[in-house]
Every structure is written in C-alpha cells, then in structure tokens.
Structure 1
Amino acid sequence: MTYDQQILHILTEAGERGISVQTIARHVFNMNVSFFVSPDFEEIRTYVQQYLLRNSRSSLSLIERTERRGYYRLNTKGSADARQLMLEFQEHENIEEAEDEKPQQQDLSLSLFD
C-alpha cells in the first residue's frame, strides 16, 4: 500500500470530523515501521502535508480542509471520487468482517502427549 492509499484510508476512518496532519503522519509512519525498516518520520510528515495541500485546493477536490487549522477530511459533498472511495472502503471492511465471521474449524487431531 502506498502512502497515498494509506492517507486516504486514514481519512475514511476519521470521518466527518477530520484528522490533523500530525496524526495522519503518525499513522502512516506506524503503518510502515517494521523490525528491519524504520522510515524517517520527518520525510513522511512532509509528504503527508504536501499531499494534503495538493489534493485540497479546489471545492471539488478529493480532500478538504476543516474549520480547525491543520485538520483535513474527505470531501464527500463536493467530490464524487470521495463518495466512491468511502463506498469502496466500506465494502472492503464488510468483506473482511464476513470472512471473520466464518466458523472456525475445531482441531480434532489426537494429542501426542496424552
């Protein structure tokens, strides 16, 4: 998953209230940290900030600024792409929930230590 996709996923989970640039950057950083790789937080924060500024310029943009300074959310009122994105993420989450609800198969094998 690219940074762009991760940012959009975080914004869909944030909902109408929006989320701050710093918090988005922290989430993206945590999504990319692994045992062997630790990306630079400042690079990620700069990328997130630039991405949000680039994609929130017009009233028809995918992302919009909220009333609070430094907070962003998906533009579900002015952008058809944002509405479609919300539907796609909701659909994806419903599929994952359905897979989780499948009955777990019970292990009926005999134990070697009984």
Structure 2
Amino acid sequence: MQYDKEILRVLAEAGDEGLSVQNISRHVFNACNSFFNPIDQEEVRRYVQSYLLKNSKTANALLAKNKKGVYKLNANNQLSEQLLFQFHDEPEVYKEKPIVDQSLSLFDD
C-alpha cells in the first residue's frame, strides 16, 4: 500500500531521533491526499498507528520505539538498513548543456 511506503520514507528521512505518530500520520496524509482522491485524516492516523505497533513488537522488528509514541527505523534490522540506502541515494544531477543560439540573424555579417 502507498501508506506503508510513505511511512518508511518519512522515518528514513527522520533518522535516529525518529518521529511521533502524529507527525508521521500528518506527513503520510499530506503525501497521499489529493483533490480527486480525498482521504480521511483520522483513518490515516489509525492506519499509521496500527502499522507502527504491528512492526515494532519484537527486538529485531523493522521499526523501533525510541520513546513513548516516537518511532524510528531499527538499526539492528537488515531490511531497515537496506531501506536507508534506498531512500538516501543521491538523486541524479543533470548537467545542463550550454544554450547555443541557432536563430537566424536579421543582418548579414
């Protein structure tokens, strides 16, 4: 589901401090809501909260609880390390070619 990807992306950007459930659900809501496909913010918050609880139960889970209500990616999990690499890949920088003026001159040289 798209919510899952957004949750993991937001947590990868948050780093070791993590984010609260409220902040994560707000980011997911803003990323997934659109004019043509409106979603309910309370529904997103419930989904995010259940996803975080479900994926942070064990010591080797994908997510880890930092403090009460604050979650982060678990550094001890191999899958979360791979996610950090995927989300933190540097975007390709395109070099702009110099613009060559190919217009015709009005006057003969």
Q: TM-score range by the shorter chain?
A: 0.7 to 0.9
- Name the CA distance, whole Å, in 2 between partners of 1:109 and 1:39: 50
Distance (whole Å) between structure 1 residues aligned to residue 24 and residue 15 of structure 2: 13
CA 1:81/1:33 → structure 2, altered by over 3 Å: closer, same or farther? same
Q: Structure 1 CA distance, aligned partners of 2:61 and 2:97? A: 44
Residue ranges of structure 1 left out of the alignment (5+ in a row): none
Residue number in structure 1 paired with 2:55: 55
C-alpha RMSD of matched pairs (Å): 1.8
Normalised to the residue count of structure 1, the TM-score between the two structures is 0.81
Which residue in 2 is equivalent to 1:46?
Answer: 46
* Aligned positions, number: 103
Q: Distance in 1 between matches of 2:33 and 2:100?
A: 35
Match of 2:77 among 52, 67, 79: 79
- Are the equivalent residues in 1 in contact too, given 2:62–2:80 (CA < 8 A)? yes
Distance 2:102 2:38 in 1: 42
Cα distance 1:22–1:102, how it changes in 2: closer, same or farther (>3 A)?
Answer: same
CA pair 49-108 structure 1, distance change in 2 beyond 3 A: farther
Q: Note if 1:17 corresponds to 2:10.
A: no
How far off its partner does 1:14 sit?
A: 0.3
Hey, what's the Cα distance between the residues in 1 that align with 2:99 and 2:35?
A: 33
User: 1:70 corresponds to which residue?
Assistant: 69
Q: In structure 2, what is the Cα distance between the partners aligned to 1:53 and 1:89?
A: 22
1:50-100 CA distances to partner (integer Å, 9 max, x unpaired)? 00000000010010000x210000001x21111111111122xx1x2x23x
| Counterpart code for 2:21 | V
Alpha-carbon distance in structure 1 between the residues aligned to 2:68 and 2:28: 20
Aligned equivalents of 1:107, 1:33: Cα separation in 2: 42
Q: Name the SS for the 1:56 alignment partner.
A: coil
